[in-house]
Amino acid sequence: MFKSIIAGIGMYVPENIVTNNHLTKYMDTSDEWIQERTGIKERRYAHRTNETTTTMAVEASKIAIERAGITAQDIDFIVFATLSPDYYFPGCGVLLQRAMKMKEIGALDVRNQCSGFVYALSVADQFIKTGMYKNILVVGAEKHSFGLDFSTRGRNVSVIFGDGAGAVVLQPTEDNNRGILSTHLHSDGESAEILAMYNPGTHANHWANKNYASFNDGEIADMFMSHAMIDNAQNFPYMDGPSVFKKAIVKFPEVILEALKKNNYTPENISMLIPHQANLRIAQFVQQKLGLKDEQVYNNIQYYGNTTAASVPIALCEAWEKGKIKQGDLVCLAAFGSGFTWASALLKW
């Protein structure tokens, strides 16, 4: 059985920097509130028309592929994680395949929101381990700025999110001292609706007091996307922040410890923890709970906000580019988010 190594990594964030003060033009918020509650100073927003989730993924992928010493033609599978796809369907995987003129390879889209990249990495790892593929492109990319409620009504969500993309190329290695040691995936759908974007969707919850069977076709089509939904902001993400926070600070340490235990390590063995960048306070809580030193944890939410599926590969790439991750280091990736889903991956760089 092979092990998977990250042979190349890349990231892309849009040029446009949006500060907290900038957001005060649209909603009742303040730089002080945002920094104190989230740690975020600024985030990037993609160009309104020229940039999409896929175009940002292309930029990150080009770098990852070049650093892996291969070409786009060598990629034999794509796993693409996003919650903000260019289209409702088809997914971004095929758009990336087309944009990069890749061969007619398989392209899989992963919809696991904040833990999407770690899930995607785990899926790719299985294909590498069995020898099925040799060069898998794993991507996390998001364009949130196009789908946020910029009125005061949506401020608890919209101040958090930012745009960007990260990508890695996974390859097999027979070197037993390197690569992905294990991945750990979890879910609990009990609270699915407390961090969700309900529409467009087929749930029909907003019609719960009516008899679905009595509707005619026109009314049913209206249930998928209607003016009323837009008027009621149901086409924007909804979050019960404090409830998500409470669950996150339990599940983050748990899934990190699970990965360490599986491989006979303890927190002090971690060279670098890359937590999903949901909130600086969550990362600091996790650091404290596990007794990690500052140099064992990498955070960049201050500059990019929460880029959901893109946050782990962006933070991993930046930490590596700054020389904070070196060959042989024990690196732990961990994420928690909507679903709820949470996940970790432990690897020897």
Residue of 26, 146, 245, 349 that binds ligand UT7 (CB under 6 A): 245
Nearest CB to ligand UT7, comparing residues 6 and 283: 283
Under 8 Å between Cβ of 319 and 260: no
Nearest Cα to Cα of residue 10 among 182, 140, 122 = 140
Residue of 156, 173, 182, 235 that binds ligand UT7 (CB under 6 A): 156
x/- contact string, 184-223, with ligand UT7 (CB under 6 A)? ----------------------------------------
Nearest Cα to Cα of residue 82 among 93, 71, 98, 94 = 93
How many helices and strands in the chain, by DSSP H and E?
A: 12, 13
Nearest Cα to Cα of residue 331 among 185, 187, 182, 171 = 182
Under 8 Å between Cβ of 321 and 309: no
Under rule CB under 6 A, residue 286 binds ligand UT7: no
Residue of 211, 242, 295, 327 that binds ligand UT7 (CB under 6 A): 242
Residue of 55, 122, 135, 279 that binds ligand UT7 (CB under 6 A): 279
Element (H, E) at 42: strand 42-44
Radius of gyration of the chain (CA): 20
Nearest CB to ligand UT7, comparing residues 24 and 271: 24
Residue of 4, 38, 135, 199 that binds ligand UT7 (CB under 6 A): 38
Under 8 Å between Cβ of 138 and 79: yes
Q: How far is CA 1 from the centre of its chain?
A: 28
In the bound complex, which residue of the shown chain has the CB atom lying closest to ligand UT7? 241
Tell me whether residue 114 is one of the annotated catalytic residues.
yes
Nearest CB to ligand UT7, comparing residues 223 and 249: 249
Under rule CB under 6 A, residue 241 binds ligand UT7: yes
Under 8 Å between Cβ of 79 and 110: yes
Tell me whether residue 177 is one of the annotated catalytic residues.
no
Q: Is the peptide bond before 200 cis (omega within 30 degrees of 0)?
A: yes
The CB-of-126 to ligand UT7 minimum distance in angstroms stands at: 25
Stretch 108-127 residues interacting with ligand UT7 (CB under 6 A): 114
Sequence-distant (≥ 6) Cβ neighbours of residue 250 within 8 angstroms: none
Six-digit token string for 343: 């996940």
Stretch 16-35 residues interacting with ligand UT7 (CB under 6 A): 29, 33-34
- 261 CB neighbour count, 10 Å cutoff: 12
Choosing from 20, 92, 112, 114, the catalytic residue is: 114
Under rule CB under 6 A, residue 83 binds ligand UT7: no
Identify the bridge partners of residue 44 per DSSP, sorted by sequence position: 17
Taking the C-alpha atoms of residue 5 and residue 7, their distance in angstroms, rounded to an integer, is 6
Stretch 293-322 residues interacting with ligand UT7 (CB under 6 A): 306, 308
Nearest CB to ligand UT7, comparing residues 159 and 256: 159
Tell me whether residue 276 is one of the annotated catalytic residues.
yes
For ligand UT7, the binding residues (CB under 6 A) are 29, 33-34, 37-38, 114, 155-156, 159, 241-242, 244-245, 248, 278-279, 282, 306, 308, 337
**Residues forming the active site:** 114, 276, 306
